[in-house]
Amino acid sequence: MIDETCIRDINPNDFDDIKKILKDQIGNQYSKELELELKDIESGRVNGIVAVSKDTGLCGYASWRYRVESAYLETIAVDNKLQSQGIGGRLLRIIEQIILDEKPGITLLNVVTDSDALRTINFYIKNKFVPSGIVQDEFIPGTSQIHLSKKLSEN
């Protein structure tokens, strides 16, 4: 199955499929943020890639932006029917390679996620992110966020 999945640059025709994938994956609080993020992709402020399965169509989405001297992973999501097959890891590796190719001076990829999202945190740890701190009430009162960082290198 994984070999039948290709990863390519995003385009605005993908937006409806991305919203469908994310509808079940992220809390309602974040849906407005997603709309803004897709606008930022259209304007080029945010970069995006998608995974497309030969059988089921668009099945994964990841986005990032450049900030000062680092890159920030905005969103990563895989269709829940196709999770745990390596698609999320492939999306991450491709983003890392694009960053190294496009902006060789940038060697840090950062991400923030809910600190109780243990499976998501495991995904980042498995992909060599290291926790750098927890911030209380960062986006939602009563919800803390964990910050993680990955040092990028060609190896």
Judged by the rule CB under 6 A, the positions of this chain that interact with ligand COA are: 25, 75-78, 83-89, 113, 117, 119-120, 122-123, 126
Closest approach of ligand COA to the CB of residue 17, in Å: 14
For ligand COA, the closer of residues 83 and 144 by Cβ is 83
Q: Which of 111, 104, 105 is nearest to 125 (CA)?
A: 111
For ligand COA, the closer of residues 32 and 105 by Cβ is 32
The 10 Å Cβ neighbour count of residue 101 is: 8
C-alpha span between 7 and 9 (Å, rounded): 7
Closest approach of ligand COA to the CB of residue 6, in Å: 15
Closest approach of ligand COA to the CB of residue 43, in Å: 21
For ligand COA, the closer of residues 83 and 115 by Cβ is 83
End-to-end Cα separation, the chain, in angstroms: 26
Query: What single-letter amino acid sits at 83?
Result: Q
**Closest CB to ligand COA: residue number:** 88
Residue at token pair 């745990």: 84
For ligand COA, the closer of residues 53 and 152 by Cβ is 53
What are the backbone angles phi and psi of residue 138, rounded to the nearest 5°? -70, -50
C-alpha span between 28 and 11 (Å, rounded): 24
Closest approach of ligand COA to the CB of residue 54, in Å: 16
